[in-house]
Structure formats: C-alpha cells, structure tokens
Chains A and B, each alone.
Chain A
Amino acid sequence: MNALDLILWGIAPYLALTVFVLGHVWRYRYDKFGWTTRSSQLYESRLLRVGSPLFHFGILMVLLGHVGGLLVPKSWTEAVGVSEETYHITAVVLGTVAGVCTVGGLAILIYRRRTVGPVFMATTRNDKLMYAMLALTLVLGLSATVAANILGGGYDYRTTISPWFRSIFAFQPEMSLMAAAPLLFQLHALSALALFAIWPFTRLVHMLTAPIGYLTRPYVVYRSRDLGGERGTRPARRGWEPAGPPPR
C-alpha cells in the first residue's frame, strides 16, 4: 500500500462525505429558496415523460442494489440461505436492467437538454458539471458490472469493495482491499466520491427532500401567520422583517 492508495481510499472518502454532509447542512440553512428540482417540464414534456421516469425509477433500483450489495455483509445473505451463485445472478440481472434503464433515461434527458432550445437555455454551468459527473459515474458503474460479470468470469465485490465501504463508517478504512480491486470499480468509486462532493451544491439536493411525508399528512395544510420559525433559521434580511413590533 502506497501513499496514493492512502489518499484515494483512506482520505478522499472522508473528504467527500464531510463535504456531502456539511454541504447539505449549509445549503439547507442558507439557500432554502434554491432547494428545488428546477423542473423543465413547462418547456417540454414529450421526451421528459419517457426519459425522466426511466432514469429516476432506474436510479432508485440502482440505489437499492447498492444498499444490498455494499451494506449487507456476505455472511448475512449466506446465513439466510442465499448461495453465492443465486445472489450473483440476481444482482447481475437486476443490476444490469436497472443500470441500462438509468443510463438510457439519462441519455434521453441529456439529448433533450441539448436539443430542446428552452431547456438548453435554462441549463447552467453547474448543471453541466453535475450531468458530466453523474453520467461518468453511471457509465463506469455499468461498465464495471458488465466487464466483470458478463464479459469476464465474475467478480465478487462483496469480499473486497463492500468491506472497504463499510470500514469507512467504522473509521477503520481497509484501504488495501480497495487498492486490489479492478480498475473500473476503482474509477467508479472515485467518480462517485467526486459526485458526492459536488452533490450539495447542485440541483441533486432535491433527492434529500423526497416528499415521503405526503403519504401521511392531512390533505389541507393550515398554518398560522406568525410562526416565526417557519422562515428558516436565518434572520430576515434587512428590509424584509415581518411587520410588527421588534422582539424585546
């Protein structure tokens, strides 16, 4: 293990995750107004209606797959009687389907973004960087899966990458495990770390406010006029203080 491995697999993950967490806290406190999907459906909906659900449902499946593959130790699945082969085939099939959906959806969305005039006009530099990082991560992840499992003889990431990933959260990073992983997996992990680092500063923040609470709240929301805390934690800007006597 050399210094590069230490930096890539021992230091970079902590940097990226720290930026991810603190970045979201900062963004939530200081830029609630900017916390939005910035939907472009008003401009164009024919392509969006195909591409967006394809991408989003695909990436949700990919997310579930990562949770299953990275967070659940191999010993657990074996304990409930899932053999390595069963797990492997299920993971590869579902993962490939989800990956193809996601990449296909993203391709449609990027095509739409580039070719539909108003949508392209509404695309910021920030968006372009985000799209590049997101596409890179997805393509690397999908190609790593395809290269290792379909073209190659199969790669059991659950004995190398998954323990490394879990060891990060135990604050005992087992860097050598990741250092020995195939290059495509390494590149996928690195680009994912970079994506996490820019995440809080892009429109991807909308993921953290997925409206799950809608399922349980009453339909009509009543709110009183003078709930001071509802304006967020930041003080009112000068000139925008609510009417009424100042606090004494």
Chain B
Amino acid sequence: MTRVMAQLAMVMNLDKCIGCHTCSVTCKQAWTNRSGTEYVWFNNVETRPGQGYPRTYQDQEKWQGGWELNGRGRLRLKAGGRLRKLLSIFANPVMPSIQDYYEPWTYDYDRLFSAPVQDSTPVARPRSLISGAPTKITWSANWDDNLAGAPELAPADPILRRMSDQVKLEFERAFMFYLPRICEHCLNPSCVASCPSGAMYKRSEDGIVLVDQDRCRGWRMCVTGCPYKKVYFNHKTGKAEKCTFCYPRVEVGIPTVCSETCVGRLRYIGLILYDADRVIDAATVPDEKDLFAAQKGVLLDPHDPEVIAAARRDGIPEDWLEAARRSPIHKLIFEYGLALPLHPEFRTMPMVWYIPPLSPVVDALAGTGHDGEEAGNLFGAIDSLRIPVEYLAELFTAGDPEPVRDVLRRLAAMRSYMRRVNLGRAPRESIAAAVGMTGEQIEQMHRLLAIAPYDERYVIPKAHAEQGAQLEELATGCSLDYDGGPGMSGPFGEASGQPRPVAVETFHALKERQESGALVDPADREGRVNLLNWDGKGLPTGLFPRKKEDR
C-alpha cells in the first residue's frame, strides 16, 4: 500500500555554475534584507574545497545535525531525542554562535558627510550590526570564495579532512568548483523533528518545509537539527527563519527567485511523487552507501498507471500528475541518471539534487595536452583521476565513487557525442552506447542541459487545482466576481464589503497602465484616477469629488 505525496524538488547543474552569487543576492534582496537577518543567507554559494557557511557545517561530529542510527538500528536525532532536547532547552549545547557565521556589519557612512574639514579624506569605518561597536571584518558568508586563503582555510574543509593526505596535498592544484545551496526541503526533515513547539512543518501538498512564525517560540533546536545549517535564528524577532522555496511564487507557477535570476540557467524545478510510507525505512538502511539508492527507491514513476491511480486516490490533482510526468527533475534523476543528492548520509532525504561537475576532469585532461573532449580520453581520465571523483562522492553519495563515475561518464559521452554533431561529422552511436544510452537520448539530454528552455527547466504546477482559475490572475476569471470589485460595490460605497485581493488590484492596475491608450482619467473607474499615470498637468476628473452642482 503506497501513500503518494508530491514534492517540489530542484536540480542544480554544477558544471554551469560560475560562482557569480546572483542567486544569493537576489534571494537576500527578496527575503532577508531585514534587521535581524543580516547574516541569514537562504541561498549561498560555496567554493569547494572550502569550509562552507557556516564554517565546517558538514562536520556532524561537531554540529550534531541530522539523523543517526541507534544501537537497535533505528533512526534517532543525532543531537538527542525528545527528552534530551527538552532538558537542554535552556541552553542549546550545539548551536552555532554568530562567530561561526560572521558578524554582519555596516559602515559609518555618515562620517563621510559629518567629518570636519581635514587634510585626509574621511573614511567610513566598519561597524558591527550585532554589537554596534567598531569592528574588523574577518569573515563573511563567502570569505574563502575562489579558494581565497585556501592554504590556511581549505584544510579545515570537513570533506577534505576525511580524505587521504596525498589527496589533500594535491587537492588545491587539482580542482575547484562552486556549490550553490538552499534548504533541501527534505523528505525526512530533522529540523521539523527537532522543533519542540511543532511550529515547523512540511506542507502536505508540495513538501515545502516552512516555519510557522506565529507558533515558533525561539527554542533554537531546529538550527541544531538541520545538518545543512539552513535554518537561521532571527536575532531581532527571536524566531527561526528558513528558505521558503519562494512558496508565494511557485504557488502561482513561477520559479523561485534564485532560479529565475540564475545567470547560468543551471537550476531546474519540478515535481516528483514519492511514497511517504517508505521514507523512514529508506532513511534507516544500515550502510550509508546504500542511502542514495534507497532515496531513489522512495520516488515513484509518474508514468506508472498504478502510481497514477494511487495518486488520484490520495487526492493529487490531475494537473499536478501531468506536471509530475513532465518534470525535469524526474528526467534528470531517472531517465538520464545525472542528479545526486547532497550528503545522503545525513539521512534526511534531501530534495535539492546536483549534477556533479565534469569540468575539473576536462581541465585536468586539457592541462596535460590531451584532447579534453575526446570520449576515450575523458573516460580514461574519469577512471584514473581519483581526486575529483572521491571528493564528489563524499559530497553526493556518502563516499561511494561508482554513481559519481557513472554520471561523469554520461556527461563526458554527451560532450563528445555533441561535439561531433556540432562539427558536422557523423554522430557516433558507439559513444552513446558506451554509457548505455542512445544517440537520441543524448540529444534530448543535451537539449535539457545545454539549451534548457525556460518552460522545460521549470515545470511548476499552480497550487490547488480548484483555485487554479483564480490564481491565474483572472486570465480565465472576471474581476467583477469579487465582492467590492468594480461591478459589485458593497452597501456603503465602493470600498465597502470584502477587500479585493491585492493581486487582483495590482494586476488590473498594471494591465491598464500597459494597455490603455489614455494616460489618465480612466473612464471605466468610478471616481478614480490612476496617480501613477498622471503627469501632473491639468485636473483629471475623479481627482477630487464632484462638486455639488455637477451631481
């Protein structure tokens, strides 16, 4: 008996990430540009190897995030079960301090204006936003960007520390890549399990993990519980905050801010179906290296008639099933076998997946004077270059190099196959066959990865089929349907009755501004004038109430 649930998931293609931080900055502007969240990055981009943000967050021996198996082979929170949580509630023993993130700062800009006349140019000194005192900037969310300070900093990378000394020594010369991170919206979220108040929850419709701000009491256990350290404590409001998967956007079918603004177009958003009853079993498999396969095993095939029937029974709307069938996520995980989860060994079943980068291998190969795009050379390099593969395996498959090798070989085959096509040579089917694919499949995969049209990258069903028509901003509905709308004035004049949804109001204002020929004085509005369109000349009717004698 399966219990089908839908989950919005993301895939990031790391080969295309140039580390520009546009996702981080636009996310911050949209969500965390407030006092108390200065240090909060729902989205951050890390250079690997590096310490990450907050520093060394991946080291769960230190930070105690995620789940582990107890002596009887059952799941328990690594930081301790319910009773231990309540007993340590007065001072959480493993909560990162602001120094593990960084002390946010601003500059004394006013000094530039208020300084008296002097010989030297006045300087805006940094000032801590935490203590208000003058400060020295020594760390930030991406201080080790592009391996800055790597000889000192990179050895503290928790992944690197698990690898052999020889690897460590060669590492820096070997490669570097970027890892953009958001909340994983896990199937088995340990932050939700850690919340004493029950304020954190997983939305049953789309699996987005959220914090109910009205219920959060600031017990801080979620910060410890999340092994990815993607739940942050707002130090002004005393409440936990986290990435929301931009739910107000995805509910109306548009991608998250980080995806929308991604310059490299490396993010994919889509739906996957999973069996909620099998999640705990899958997260409990004894060998960490089996977790990746177990996680894939929980996901359901949206084309399978039995799954479709079960999903209908469990109330998943038809348009969502259609979206699940078109989902780029399902294609990237199963059809093309490219996407891997980040740190499955945390046992949270993360739902933001990654296509590991092939570029380090190509670069290393090209550096030796070989043709970095020839299939044979690439396959050989993937098999012989231990360093990138082992490092990637520590990130994505709990240390099992085989799945990573498979993905890289497939990416290599695509590169090689498509080069022949692009150079006008005959496509060589044997390259595709070497990785168990057909030439046609490779071309489709190439289309999704390289051309990546908008509506193929983002297949996001709108929330709630029964509300769909309304959420489509009246493309199919009529504004007159709303109480208090232009056609349905309440008993006490135009603004009385139910308030009109702001989205509707904004939509109409925008539409009118863009489409109407007239600049001001829309005649179809009752005594209204659109001040945004008024050029300040003349007196459009409606600016003031009509005079008595005119009525």
Interface residues of chain A, those whose CB is within 8 Å of chain B, are 32-33, 35-45, 48-49, 52-53, 55-57, 117-118, 121-122, 206, 209, 211, 213-215, 217, 219-226, 230-232, 238-239, 241, 243-248
Asked if A117 and B235 make an inter-chain contact with CB atoms under 8 angstroms apart, the answer reads: no
- Which of B192-200, B334-342, B429-437 lies on the face that meets chain A? B192-200
The answer for the CA separation of A53 and B93 in the assembled complex, in Å, is 11
- Minimum CB distance partner of A213 in chain B: B198
- Minimum CB distance partner of B469 in chain A: A245
- Minimum CB distance partner of B194 in chain A: A219
User: Does B132 have its Cβ within 8 Å of any Cβ on chain A?
Assistant: yes
- Interface residues of B: mostly helix, strand, loop or mixed? loop
Asked if A214 and B192 make an inter-chain contact with CB atoms under 8 angstroms apart, the answer reads: no
The residues of A that contact B503 with a CB separation of less than 8 Å are: 243
The residues of B that contact A39 with a CB separation of less than 8 Å are: 218-220, 233, 238
- Which of B84-92, B152-160, B320-328, B362-370 lies on the face that meets chain A? B84-92
> In the complex, how many angstroms separate the beta carbon of B485 from the nearest chain A beta carbon?
10
Interface residues of chain B, those whose CB is within 8 Å of chain A, are 77, 82-83, 85-86, 89-93, 95, 97-98, 128, 130-133, 188-189, 192-193, 195-198, 200-206, 212-220, 233, 235-239, 248, 251-252, 463-464, 467, 470-471, 481-483, 498-499, 501-503
Known: A213-B198, A225-B205. A243 touches B471 (CB 8 A): yes
Asked if B205 and A36 make an inter-chain contact with CB atoms under 8 angstroms apart, the answer reads: no
Known: A117-B131, A220-B188. A35 touches B98 (CB 8 A): no
Asked if A244 and B464 make an inter-chain contact with CB atoms under 8 angstroms apart, the answer reads: yes
The residues of B that contact A217 with a CB separation of less than 8 Å are: 198
The answer for the CA separation of A33 and B206 in the assembled complex, in Å, is 25
Known: A53-B91, A117-B131, A224-B203. A36 touches B463 (CB 8 A): no
Asked if B83 and A215 make an inter-chain contact with CB atoms under 8 angstroms apart, the answer reads: yes
Asked if A221 and B202 make an inter-chain contact with CB atoms under 8 angstroms apart, the answer reads: yes
Asked if B95 and A42 make an inter-chain contact with CB atoms under 8 angstroms apart, the answer reads: yes
The residues of B that contact A122 with a CB separation of less than 8 Å are: 235-236
The residues of B that contact A209 with a CB separation of less than 8 Å are: 197, 217
Asked if A32 and B215 make an inter-chain contact with CB atoms under 8 angstroms apart, the answer reads: yes
Asked if A41 and B467 make an inter-chain contact with CB atoms under 8 angstroms apart, the answer reads: no
The answer for the CA separation of A239 and B502 in the assembled complex, in Å, is 6
Asked if A206 and B217 make an inter-chain contact with CB atoms under 8 angstroms apart, the answer reads: yes
Known: A118-B130, A214-B82, A243-B471. A33 touches B220 (CB 8 A): no
- Minimum CB distance partner of B470 in chain A: A245
The residues of A that contact B192 with a CB separation of less than 8 Å are: 219-221
A-B pairs with beta carbons under 8 A, tally? 157
Asked if A52 and B464 make an inter-chain contact with CB atoms under 8 angstroms apart, the answer reads: no
New contact pairs (17) apart from A117-B131, A217-B198, A225-B463, CB-CB < 8 Å: A36-B217, A36-B239, A38-B218, A41-B220, A45-B91, A45-B95, A56-B90, A117-B130, A211-B219, A213-B198, A214-B82, A214-B86, A221-B192, A224-B203, A241-B499, A243-B470, A246-B501
The answer for the CA separation of A238 and B214 in the assembled complex, in Å, is 17
The residues of B that contact A220 with a CB separation of less than 8 Å are: 188-189, 192-193, 202
Asked if B502 and A241 make an inter-chain contact with CB atoms under 8 angstroms apart, the answer reads: yes
Known: A244-B471, A246-B501. A215 touches B86 (CB 8 A): yes
The answer for the CA separation of A6 and B112 in the assembled complex, in Å, is 64
> In the complex, how many angstroms separate the beta carbon of B150 from the nearest chain A beta carbon?
28
8 CB contacts below 8 A, A to B, read A36-B238, A37-B219, A38-B238, A57-B90, A214-B86, A220-B188, A220-B189, A221-B198
> In the complex, how many angstroms separate the beta carbon of A29 from the nearest chain B beta carbon?
11
Select A211's contact among B86, B202, B238, beta carbons within 8 Å.
B86
> In the complex, how many angstroms separate the beta carbon of A38 from the nearest chain B beta carbon?
4
Asked if A52 and B90 make an inter-chain contact with CB atoms under 8 angstroms apart, the answer reads: yes
